[in-house]
Each structure stands twice: as C-alpha cells, then as structure tokens.
C-alpha cells in the first residue's frame, strides 16, 4: 500500500536529518509519497505565515506528518510553530518512548519506558493575570474530557504495544480537585483494561524512583507540566534529548518529530546525528502499520550502533550524517 505523508524538513539541521531518515525509510521498501511543506521562518518569508494553511490541510488530509526541528526566536518574533501545530490540529497526546540504545554510553542501559503527556491543558492554557500589583494568578485547567481521553490513549497504546503497566503521576495529595480529577479519570479508564496493571505515584516520589530504580516503570501517564519535565528527565536517563523520538498525536492526525532542536551551532555541516528523527520515523511506521519495515530499520540502526564503526561526532565518532545513513541502509540490504 502506498502512503501519502506530509514532510516538514524544518530548518537548521532539520533538512539534513530528515533527508537521511527519508532515504532509510525508502530503502526499507516502504512506499511513501511525501508532500513537502515549509514552516517557521522559511514559510514566513515565502508565504507570510509560519504555519501555512496548505501545510495544515496536508496533515489533515494525510493524517500523518514527519517533522524536522524548527527554530523559534527567543523573546521576540513569531510564537513556537511546534505549539501552533499542536493547537491547530488538537494533537492532545505527546508520546515519548525512552529506551537505551546499544553501545551508546548512558547511565541506565536497562531503561525501557514510555512517557505519555497530556498536551492541551493544565498550566499551559496561558490563562494568567495580575490580581493586584505584585500578585499574579495562573490558572491550571483540568477537564474530565481531556483526562479521560489521554488515559484511554495511554491504555490503548499499552495494549497495542504489549506493555504491562501504566503509572499515573500526579500531586493529588495537594491539588485534590484538579489532580484528583485526573487521577479519578485514570482509574475509571484503567478498569476497562483489566489485563494491564494500573498504579499511581506522587510526582516528587516518581522523580526519585525514576533516578533510583527506573526499570520499575513501563508506561507513565502525566498532565502537561509534569509530563514536560519528566519526559526530559527520562530522556536524560538514556543519554539525552539527541537520541529519543517523539510524537504528537490527535484525532485529526499525528506529527512525528525528534525532540531536539535545530542545532544552529552545527547546521549545514552534514554532521548531525539523525538517530532521533529516524527513531521518530520508526514510531511513525508502526503508527501506519508498517511494523515489519519499522522492525527492520530498528534492527539495522541497533546493529550499526552496536558495531560502533560508523557513528556521528556527538556519540564519539567521525562519520557524517550521510555516512551513518548509508551504513544503516547497507545493513537493511544485507537483511533482505
Ligand atoms: P538543540 O537541541 O537544537 O541543541 C542543543 C545541543 O545539542 C547543541 O549543541 C546541538 O548541536 C546538539 N544537538 C541537537 N541535536 C543534535 C543532533 N541531531 N546531532 C548532533 N547534535 C545535536 O537546542 P537549542 O540550541 O536549545 O535550540 C535551537 C533551536 O531549536 C531553538 O530555536 C529552539 O526553539 C528550537 N527547538 C525546536 C524544537 C522542535 O522543532 N521540536 C525542539 C527544541 C528546540
């Protein structure tokens, strides 16, 4: 079956890591027609809009996009395209699988967990105001609808991917109403999935446990703010943000992207590590049910890393982005 997928190369190292990823996916024999669209500064210069309507329409039509990182100006200029995309498409679930890579130094080689973060509400609703000078109020919004939806997403994911446990992380001992509602929704949904273990942990304890015994966790379910923090903490357990994949998923579509940024310090030099975006591509292939190709690419990636002969500079090698991609493609060809 031929798929049509929206491709957003992004900027900085984005075009370098997306082209390596596209080459590897095509070499695995998955038939994809890519609809390439620009976002951010490039789109602003060309179309006068950082998130052109054509791009949003393309994702709505194709329901799947692969996206390179996009630079967000700090303190001025346009608002984050990443946040804009999430809002425009109601991509309510942020998914970040965190698994150590073979032969890549990290503190916890046995970690294999998945962070599911609610992406649309909590303290990120942007509802802040000055009550009187010197006092501000920032509103935390938690709804039953969004809490049930994200809990169901986590359990469905666990069921589909053969995961054994979902742990809700919260502070319901203090925020009895808001986090209490989130936790209550979690337990209500959990009752529909008796084959999957469900437990919960208070967020401060969860942080300590993640650092002391991360292997006890499987799928973690969190509100937006705790999820933002813990997903980076989890990435740090296995070597940092440069390696882990990510996806933002909603009912209208899913956008798969690396969690690292556009790395302006190394852009244009052909030395970026495409692993994170390739891993996001593997997640995307599973999402569109190209599981066999996803497994083959993952095995080829792991084999190249395990051998350690061809690796990019950030993980101690000298290979270029293209050479690293070529090595993975060579393994794919051998595996046929
Ligand atoms: P960054 O992730 O771009 O870079 C941090 C460090 O990691 C740099 O030294 C960089 O060279 C290195 N690095 C990152 N990815 C790498 C890779 N694939 N291979 C080798 N080294 C890599 O973070 P930053 O410098 O804070 O952000 C730069 C820009 O990216 C900012 O404008 C930021 O807003 C944007 N950003 C975009 C996204 C996204 O599009 N999803 C995510 C994060 C940051």
State yes or no: pLDDT of 173 exceeds 70.
yes
Mean pLDDT of 39-51: 90
Percent share of the chain, pLDDT over 90: 85
Angle between helices 144-160 and 178-190 (to 10 degrees): 40
Residue 228 is among the residues annotated as catalytic for this protein: yes
pLDDT at 76: 65
Percent share of the chain, pLDDT over 70: 98
* Residue 79 tokens, joined: 């608002």
Q: What is the ipTM of this complex?
A: 0.97
Positive or negative torsion for Cα 318, 276, 82, 126: negative
Scan for tokens 């940024």, then name that residue. Answer: 261
Single pTM value for the model: 0.93
Give the ligand 1 atom nearest the CA of 80.
Answer: 34
Is the minimum distance from the CB of 104 to ligand 1 under 6 angstroms? no
**Residue 40 CB contacts under 8 Å (≥ 6 apart), including other chains:** 10, 11, 50, 70, 71, 72, 78, 81
Give the ligand 1 atom nearest the CA of 263.
Answer: 3
Cβ count within 10 A of residue 246: 25
Closest among 254, 256, 205, 206 to 234, alpha carbons compared: 206
Mean pLDDT of 154-170: 97
Query: Alpha-carbon distance 242 to 315, whole Å?
Result: 10
Is the minimum distance from the CB of 262 to ligand 1 under 6 angstroms? yes
Query: Alpha-carbon distance 134 to 136, whole Å?
Result: 7
pLDDT at 241: 83
Residue 200 is among the residues annotated as catalytic for this protein: no
Pocket test for ligand 1, best of 235, 262, 278, 305 (most atoms within 8 A of CB): 262
Catalytic site residue from 122, 179, 200, 228: 228
**Residue 193 CB contacts under 8 Å (≥ 6 apart), including other chains:** 155, 158, 159, 166
Mean pLDDT of 283-295: 96
At 335, is the pLDDT very low, low, confident or very high (cuts 50, 70, 90)?
low
Highest mean pLDDT among 214-218, 259-263, 331-335: 214-218
Each residue's pLDDT tens digit, 81-104: 888 898 899 999 999 999 999 999
pLDDT at 72: 83
Mean pLDDT of 148-158: 98
pLDDT at 143: 98
Mean pLDDT of the chain: 94
Residue 199 is among the residues annotated as catalytic for this protein: no
Catalytic site residue from 38, 92, 108, 124: 124
pLDDT at 336: 59
State yes or no: pLDDT of 170 exceeds 90.
yes
Task: Please name the residue whose Cα sits nearest to atom 31 of ligand 1.
Answer: 71
């Amino acid at each position: 079956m031929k798929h049509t997928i929206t491709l957003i190369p992004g900027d900085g190292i984005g075009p370098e890591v997306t082209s390596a990823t596209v080459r590897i996916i095509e070499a695995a024999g998955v038939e994809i027609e890519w609809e390439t669209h620009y976002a951010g500064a490039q789109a602003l210069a060309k179309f006068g809009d950082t998130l052109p309507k054509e791009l949003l329409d393309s994702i709505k039509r194709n329901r799947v996009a692969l996206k390179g990182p996009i630079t967000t100006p700090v303190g001025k200029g346009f608002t984050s395209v990443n946040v804009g995309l999430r809002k425009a498409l109601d991509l309510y679930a942020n998914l970040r699988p965190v698994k150590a890579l073979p032969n890549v130094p990290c503190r916890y080689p046995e970690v294999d967990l998945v962070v599911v973060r609610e992406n649309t509400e909590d303290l990120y609703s942007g509802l802040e105001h000055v009550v009187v000078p010197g006092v501000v109020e920032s509103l935390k919004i938690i709804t039953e609808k969004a809490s049930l939806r994200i809990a169901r997403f986590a359990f469905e994911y666990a069921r589909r991917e053969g995961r054994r446990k979902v742990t809700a992380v919260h502070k319901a001992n203090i925020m009895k109403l808001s986090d209490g509602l989130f936790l209550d929704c979690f337990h209500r949904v959990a009752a529909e999935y008796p084959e999957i273990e469900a437990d919960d942990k208070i967020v401060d304890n969860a942080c300590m446990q993640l650092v002391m015994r991360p292997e006890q966790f499987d799928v973690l379910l969190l509100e937006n703010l705790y999820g933002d923090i813990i997903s980076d903490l989890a990435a740090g357990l296995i070597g940092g943000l440069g390696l882990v994949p990510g996806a933002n998923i909603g009912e209208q579509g899913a956008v798969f992207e690396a969690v690292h940024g556009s790395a302006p310090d190394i852009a244009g030099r052909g030395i970026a590590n495409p692993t994170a975006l390739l891993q996001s591509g593997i997640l995307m292939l599973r999402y569109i049910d190209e599981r066999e190709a996803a497994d083959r690419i993952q095995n080829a990636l792991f084999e190249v890393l395990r051998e350690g002969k061809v690796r990019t500079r950030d993980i101690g090698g000298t290979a270029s982005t293209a050479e690293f991609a070529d090595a993975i493609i060579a393994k794919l060809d051998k595996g046929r």
